[in-house]
Chains A and B, each alone.
Chain A
Amino acid sequence: MTDIVTFIAAMFGGLLIFVSLARAVTSSHVTSKLVAINIINTKTIILIVLLGELLDSYLYVDVAMVYAMCSYVGTVAVLKGQVCHRLDQGGE
């Protein structure tokens, strides 16, 4: 029974990831896109941990940890590259 519950939760999370992706694609500003991408990252971490539970392989927990670090670095890099660059250009 718990496997079915885990599977349903993982499918629901995956569906919500696609819905958030639609929001990220349709929003206009970079910061709005980043908010959507941020929530996609967290949902992906949850999904990887649920996948590890579903497949009875807890190596996926390590993958989720590395993914969490990479997603944070990615968010900061996009902010640094896009938004701060534009601010610098506007200040000149």
Chain B
Amino acid sequence: MNWIYTALLAVGCFFMFTATVGLFRMPDVFTRLHGTTKCDTVAAGCVLTAVALRSGSWLVAAKILLIFIFIIMVNPTSAHLIGWAAHQSDQQESTESEAG
């Protein structure tokens, strides 16, 4: 059990690190969103699963599962909103530069 816990935490930390590297290395907003949201979901999934397995209580595991479901629902939604806003402002800037 301890090895599973350690392995899940290690995978979670690795994906948190890759998300941060992606945040620095990617050239524009859309590619940064791609890197961060995918690794967010995997890292949060691994770490929350590790803690849920370790807790030994069904109630705590259910609450952690609720947090994970919430993260899975919310992260793509906010990423979609950020991508939409970036796309709209890009379009607006290109329209202004064409008009000016």
Contacts and interface: CB of A to CB of B under 8 A. Distances in A.
Is the pairing of A and B real? yes
Interface in A50-80: 50, 52-53, 58, 61-62, 64-65, 68-69, 72, 75-76, 79
Interface residues of A, number: 44
Interface in A31-65: 31-32, 34-36, 38-39, 42-43, 45-46, 49-50, 52-53, 58, 61-62, 64-65
Contacts, number: 126
Given A2-B2, A13-B13, A31-B89, A42 B44 contact: yes
Nearest to B54: A53
22 contacts: A2-B6, A5-B9, A12-B16, A16-B16, A16-B20, A23-B24, A29-B89, A32-B29, A35-B23, A35-B32, A35-B33, A42-B75, A58-B60, A61-B60, A61-B67, A68-B67, A72-B74, A72-B78, A79-B81, A79-B82, A79-B85, A87-B88
3 cross-chain pairs, A with B, having the tightest CB-CB distances, nearest first? A83-B85, A31-B86, A42-B40
Interface of B: 2, 5-6, 9-10, 12-13, 16-17, 19-20, 23-24, 29, 32-33, 36-37, 40, 43-44, 47-48, 51, 54-55, 57, 60, 63-64, 66-67, 70-71, 74-75, 77-79, 81-82, 85-86, 88-89, 92, 96
